[in-house]
Amino acid sequence: MEYTKRFSELNKHSNLEAGGKGASLGEMINAGIPVPDGFVVITASFDHFLAANELDKIIADILHKVDIGNNKTVENASTKIRELIMSGNIPTLVKQEIVQQFSALDAKFVAVRSSATAEDGAQAAWAGQLESYLNTNTETLLENVKKCWASLFTPRAIFYRIEQGFKEKNVSVAVVVQKMVDSECAGIAFSLHPVLNDYRQIVIDAGYGLGESIVGGQVTPNSYAVDKPTLCILDKVHSLQERKLVRNAKGGNVWKETSQKERNRYVLSDDDIKRLALIILKIEKHYGFACDIEWAYEGGQFYIVQSRPVTTASNIKANKLEEENWYYWGCWKNTALWAAPWYQMTSTNVVRELGLENVISGRSIFTEGHYFTLQTDFDLARPDIIPSIEGKSDWLERYFTLCDRHAAKLLGLLRKKDLPTFLLELYEVSTLSLLSRYVDVNLEHYAKRLCEELGYSYQDLVSSMTLKKATPSSGYREAIANGVDSEIILEEFSWLGASFYTGQPTLTIEKIESDRREHKNVNLKPVKKSKLNKRLERCVEIGSEIAFIRTNLAELFSMVSYAYFPDLKLLADEYQISLTDIMKMLPEEVVKLCKTSKLPPDLPKRKSQFGIVADRGGINLIYDQELAILAEKFSYLYKPSASLDEFSGVSAFNGIVKGVARIVLEAKDIGCVGEGEIIVAPETTPDYILGMKKASAFVTNQGGITSHAAIVAREMQKPCVIATKIATEAIKDGDLVEVNANKGIVKILERKKNLIRQGLS
């Protein structure tokens, strides 16, 4: 045939005659990908059409006069050229071949799609620029072919053509004619996560009816993320779809309301998601690059109707802060000695033992008390964690074993003092603590989806995740309950409440006696229990274990750190510097001081504010103007609007409470919490327990369902909203706030200046 070619006659090298779309379909059908059969009206047909109607020079002259800075010239040119094309006659030989190929397809309806010769390349993607006509029949076939030719000159296509430097080049267009899939559902898929730029994930969008509604953004699709190595479904987002685009009985498309059953369920089943993921993997493997794919589903069969290179994938090695997706952890009044170990995850043995070297970015920043890390750090761990939650890998078991090993090592360092070993161990312990947050985030994500699928109350499931093992502070509660002498309790548990920054204990005889009285008055409601299936039981089991690990490691850190403060003070005295100077040193700098007697040369510069920037290359300290510039760059992440009086987070335990807010940035602040006040903190730690008993509710910047605040809230039956990101910035000390943990909403009812509270103006 001279003017048309079947898909089977084309391949990836056929771009000049079949356009990007046609070449891709030919390549895939020959590679065994399930592509609906069809043919391409090749570019020679369009060229012959233009020549037969003497339009070549006329169109070139019109385009030459276009100024894309002037929309009117673009629109006028488009109108003239399209009118010329639509009024032209298709040459007889071209017309005969098209009709003959259509008849051979034996299809009542076809999709007619434009396929430009500069289309679907990595450098110039025409996606969305040209036209497609679905459910075309024999009556509309030739007219729609002409419309596709004309769409090479729509205003947006002319603008794109000139913007991309094709103004003076000969850009032609082919037309794909393909058997129409009467889609029950359809959508788009990416063989990498287009937002996270994660090549380990497949992302699938799905909607009912024809995929055109998804491509055109007329319907919000369901969205699924799949881990490539395991085909584990990492994410399922359900969006209500009230209508769908379907085939009209006489041809063309029509909108139709979805049924209640369709609205309530996911578009694709888990099995279908995995089947489609396998096809996507096959396409990516065949091409050797990430692909943007359009798919359709009919009668139990998936069909691929288009594939192109992903053109929006960003450079993973981008270094500019504004090009990276940062996450705000919150604000702590912290020091270099304790802050630095939270950053250097990539340099730890723990990360290597867990096989996460290529998963964790290692980019973290601490400026003026504010903590930031790359958002992808949290998301990229999911391919390792969720399969393990489902029992498909041993990652969690290896993680739990490492936690036990390092907890035992900390206890050993408590008995046998070794300051350098302890300081370097902080990097490993901090990494384990951070990884507990990864597990927590992903467990929350997985558990919510599971509860939705099984019709189980997520809040009831979370309430079952409690500490089932004793931690160091459990001994304190037991001693209080058993009437142990207060002096003995004070001696044994002085670390509980000690400041990380001064080593100064805040636990007193008076507080112990107060806790003893409060213990008698505490009446904890029994946690609601019901029979769970095995997958839900697995969630509770892991959630309880992670809650224990987070609490246990945090308490051991407090206890052992407190025990080493005398050693730090002796070291400061030996070199005639203050304990504050020691606390402004990095752990490795203190180790170096112990071994070589050398102080950091820039220590005097750290007298005022300083920041920490950590990446795979190590830790750097910043000061003065550099610090101010960096802090300002990140300020948009945590500075709420001055008019902000309501924000949201995640509910860790239900209930509604109104009260005065008490900002708690470190352990020594907990003593300021009054009866019935609401604790607002970056996160809570075991040192906060004394104040949490007095408080009526808790609000935190960060945390997950197994965070300390969440666990304590469930134990104490107090409303708690976590992961607000901005609570300590939006709320001021003394504001009257409402915590609606039923909805995960925190509302500022009245600012402090309008309130009168005893002891405060």
Cα–Cα distance measured from residue 74 to residue 159, given in angstroms and rounded to the nearest whole number: 7
Rg (CA), the chain: 32
Q: What is the pLDDT of residues 48-57, one digit of tens each?
A: 999 999 998 9
CATH number of the CATH domain containing 249: 3.30.470.20
Tell whether 171 is covered by a domain: yes
Tell whether 663 is covered by a domain: yes
Q: Which two tokens stand for residue 21?
A: 């779309």
Judge whether 153 and 132 are in contact, CB under 8 Å: no
Sequential DSSP letters for 490-557:
HHHSTTTT--TTT------HHHHHHHHHHHHH--PPPPP-----HHHHHHHHHHHHHHHHHHHHHHHH
Which residue intervals of 88-199 are DSSP H helices? Answer: 92-105, 141-150, 155-163
Res 126: pLDDT: 47
Q: Are 160 and 201 members of one domain?
A: no
Closest to 18 in 3D by CA, of 605, 28, 653: 28
pLDDT at 544 over 50: yes
Q: Are 303 and 351 members of one domain?
A: no
CATH number of the CATH domain containing 117: 3.30.1490.20
Judge whether 48 and 94 are in contact, CB under 8 Å: yes
Q: Are 121 and 263 members of one domain?
A: no
Tell whether 732 is covered by a domain: yes
Q: Which two tokens stand for residue 441?
A: 């985030």
* Three-class DSSP category at 213: helix
> Nearest 5°: phi and psi at 753?
-60, -20
Query: Is the torsion defined by CA of 493, 494, 497, 498 positive or negative?
Result: negative
Q: Are 69 and 215 members of one domain?
A: no
The b-or-e profile of 710-719 (16+ CB within 10 A means b, else e) is bbbbbebbbb
Q: What is the pLDDT of residues 307-349, one digit of tens each?
A: 888 765 443 333 455 556 677 777 777 788 888 887 777 789 9
The one-letter amino acid at 14 = S
Q: What is the pLDDT of residues 739-750, one digit of tens each?
A: 999 889 999 999
The one-letter amino acid at 585 = M
Tell whether 512 is covered by a domain: no
Cα–Cα distance measured from residue 395 to residue 102, given in angstroms and rounded to the nearest whole number: 54
Tell whether 38 is covered by a domain: yes
Q: Are 172 and 214 members of one domain?
A: no
Q: Are 594 and 545 members of one domain?
A: yes
Judge whether 248 and 209 are in contact, CB under 8 Å: no
pLDDT at 123 over 50: no
Give 712's pLDDT tier (boundaries 50, 70, 90).
Answer: confident
Cα–Cα distance measured from residue 316 to residue 359, given in angstroms and rounded to the nearest whole number: 12
* Three-class DSSP category at 620: strand
Helix axes 587-596, 419-454, angle to 10 degrees: 160
Res 464: pLDDT: 86
Least confident stretch, 224-228, 657-661, 678-682: 224-228
Which residues neighbour 319 within 8 Å (Cβ) at sequence distance 6 or greater? Answer: none
Tell whether 497 is covered by a domain: no
Least confident stretch, 380-384, 682-686, 752-756: 752-756
The last residue of a domain, from among 605, 638, 671: 638
Cα–Cα distance measured from residue 340 to residue 345, given in angstroms and rounded to the nearest whole number: 10
The last residue of a domain, from among 179, 201, 223: 179
pLDDT at 516 over 90: no
Res 315: pLDDT: 38
Closest to 294 in 3D by CA, of 404, 378, 400, 213: 213
Question: Which domain range does residue 240 map to?
Answer: 181-313
Least confident stretch, 188-197, 254-263, 391-400: 188-197
* Three-class DSSP category at 67: coil
**Cross-strand partners of 254:** 246
Q: Are 273 and 294 members of one domain?
A: yes
Q: Are 615 and 653 members of one domain?
A: no
Cα–Cα distance measured from residue 81 to residue 79, given in angstroms and rounded to the nearest whole number: 6
Q: Are 559 and 672 members of one domain?
A: no
Q: What is the pLDDT of residues 441-481, one digit of tens each?
A: 889 888 988 888 888 888 888 888 888 899 998 899 899 88
* Three-class DSSP category at 442: helix
Average pLDDT (369-375) is 81
Cα–Cα distance measured from residue 364 to residue 584, given in angstroms and rounded to the nearest whole number: 18
The torsion of the CA quartet 341, 343, 349, 351, rounded to 10 degrees, works out to 140
Number of CB atoms found within 10 A of residue 29's CB: 20
Least confident stretch, 291-300, 306-315, 535-544: 306-315
Average pLDDT (710-725) is 88
Res 379: pLDDT: 62
Residue 175 CB burial class (10 angstroms; 0-12, 13-18, ≥19)? buried
Q: Are 654 and 626 members of one domain?
A: no
HEC secondary structure over 632-698: HHHHHHHCCCCCCCEEECEEEECCEEEEEEEECCCHHHHHHCCCCCEEEECCCCHHHHHHHHHCCEE
pLDDT at 508 over 90: no
CATH number of the CATH domain containing 653: 3.50.30.10
Tell whether 56 is covered by a domain: yes
What would you measure as the largest C-alpha separation in the chain, in angstroms?
Answer: 105
Average pLDDT (505-515) is 82
> Nearest 5°: phi and psi at 203?
-120, 130
Tokens 């070199």, residue?
575
Q: Are 6 and 126 members of one domain?
A: yes
The last residue of a domain, from among 313, 332, 357: 313
* Three-class DSSP category at 234: strand
Closest to 47 in 3D by CA, of 131, 152, 142: 152
Of 7 and 525, the one with more pLDDT: 7
pLDDT at 372 over 90: no
Of 312 and 146, the one with more pLDDT: 146
Q: Are 157 and 80 members of one domain?
A: yes
**Cross-strand partners of 507:** none
Tell whether 8 is covered by a domain: yes
Judge whether 365 and 614 are in contact, CB under 8 Å: yes
Q: How many domains does the chain have?
A: 4
